[in-house]
Amino acid sequence: MAKEQTRRTLESLQFDNSYARLPQQWYQRTEPAPLKGARLAGFNAEVAQLIDLDPCSVTPEQLVCYFNGEKSLPGAEPLAMKYTGHQFGFYNPDLGDGRGLLLGEVVNHKGERWDLHLKGAGRTAFSRFGDGRAVLRSTIREYLAGEAMAGLGIPTTRALCLIASEHYTQRNGMEPCALLVRVTPCHIRFGHFEYFYYSRQHDQLKLLADYSIDRYYPQCREADNPYLALFLEVQERTAELVALWQSYDFVHGVLNTDNMSILGETFDYGPYTFMDWHEPDHIANKNDDQGRYAFKRQPEIVLWNLSAFAQALVPLVPQEALEQALTRFMGRFRYHELKRMRARLGLQQEDEGDAALVVELRRLAAANRLDLARFFYHLSEQPAEELLASELGLCESVPELSEWLKTYWRRLALEVASPPIREAQMRAVNPRYILRNYMAEEVIREAHAGNYAPLNDLLPLLREPAKVDPKLDRYAGMPPDWAGAICLTCSS
């Protein structure tokens, strides 16, 4: 039975830093380097409650003081993790937390363990040629993305607070630096396992696998081979994750193995995009010249990344067993994707024609630049005929879409749930608002001018994206013309 929640101050958070007790070659202990003119830009009271932090007990000055490194946060043991990984398909042995620090692990009243991670904290042993800083633009994008994903029910890291500054660095010109306090149960990446595999530290690899099982997947201990069971658990969560991405037209942008969490969470946001219209070939990252991480390729790239993770486990698991496990991935991905797409269409029962119905809708959406987010929302709110209204920007292929709608309504007739129940289900998974790049860009422009109100006003809308917000309802409409000119790169 869970203990009664205790509201704590920053100084009394319950730290128990298990990662810091692991061998010292796994990380570098270092302190954050304070930014000049630091000030609080955003505080996430919902995330504060995850770690038992009383939002009413915290002042902006305290948050800045402790997370900017002006004073040591009681109980924290900052360290930069060492890992490696494949970047754009090529192995890079020199990776690690080059601009981030794991501050420690907070245990809440439920016994849940939450990592606090400071992004943009300055140089570490793994910074290579970088300055260890994050800019306000990229931290705002990650802050918003975490709340948007949480609102959609997609596993994600989130952030406790965002700190702006008067410190500048060179990115897209000179840009202001910022700090993001990331909160998640897990910062272990596929690349952690690759580090020990490729450096031939197989005893350390086993220790990492044991640590991961004990902390995240204790049920695997009962399996004949706990390490194979670990892989299967990670693969299942990852299959569901990428299925949700595809279901909401989300493009990650940089699916390197060092950006893949063993917990199956969306991790390390960079040039991500929720597409303004369904475009299978969409490339979110303008540095991705070959289109490796295009939207339509995400499932196969995630499978590639899982094969890299499997390769790192070969000293612990027979290779044949890992290869056999990998053959299940696409089937599990398709299962989870169709499950969510059925829910978005209001289908509670399973029918053999459902997959074809979804495929045809996506074909029409791609051919006609259809915004699927708005399409699904209106599908749950309006009769079919009204979906052809010009406000949806629907297409030249009206006859084809009309035919699809007729097929859809025939399929709905097979459902036993009443229309009100179906519509309620659809509203639960079909957002009125989705985080478009132009929305983030508007917030970033205001923040650069010192106005953080739009940033904080946007968070509640993203957390409850199906709830009508009269003040911000313009975000339910079509993106402005200038949105198409937004350019995102790895620095985003």
Q: Which residues are catalytic?
A: 258
- Residue 336 has which token pair? 């989870």
CA of 444: how far to CAs of 138, 176, 326, 477, in Å? 9, 11, 41, 20
User: For 13-26, b where at least 16 C-beta lie within 10 A, e where not — what string?
Assistant: bebebebbeeeeeb
Provide the CB-side half-sphere exposure for 336 (13 A, CA). Answer: 21
- Residue 421 has which token pair? 């129940």
d(CA 234, CA 260): 10
d(CA 349, CA 27): 50
Q: Which neighbouring-strand residues pair with 261?
A: 189
Residue 483, number of CB atoms within 10 A of its CB:
15
Q: At what angle do helices 398-412 and 354-367 cross, to 10 degrees?
A: 160
The position carrying tokens 């119905």 is 357
d(CA 402, CA 397): 9
d(CA 354, CA 384): 18
C-beta contacts of 384-389 below 8 A and 24+ residues apart: 384/408, 384/409
SS3 380: helix
SS3 160: strand
**With 0-12 CB in 10 A as exposed, 13-18 as middle and 19+ as buried, what is 107?**
middle
Report which of 98, 70, 172 is spatially closest to residue 448, judged by C-alpha positions.
Answer: 172
Report which of 259, 255, 262, 206 is spatially closest to residue 233, judged by C-alpha positions.
Answer: 262
Measured distance between the N- and C-terminal CA atoms of the chain, rounded to whole angstroms:
43
Alpha-carbon Rg for the chain, nearest whole angstrom, is 23
| Amino acid present at 439 | M
Provide the CB-side half-sphere exposure for 193 (13 A, CA). Answer: 29
CA angle 27, 40, 82 (to 5 degrees): 10
Classify strands 90-92 and 273-274 as parallel, antiparallel or unpaired.
Answer: unpaired
> Which uninterrupted H or E stretch holds 151?
helix 136-152
d(CA 8, CA 14): 9
Report which of 264, 261, 269 is spatially closest to residue 188, judged by C-alpha positions.
Answer: 261
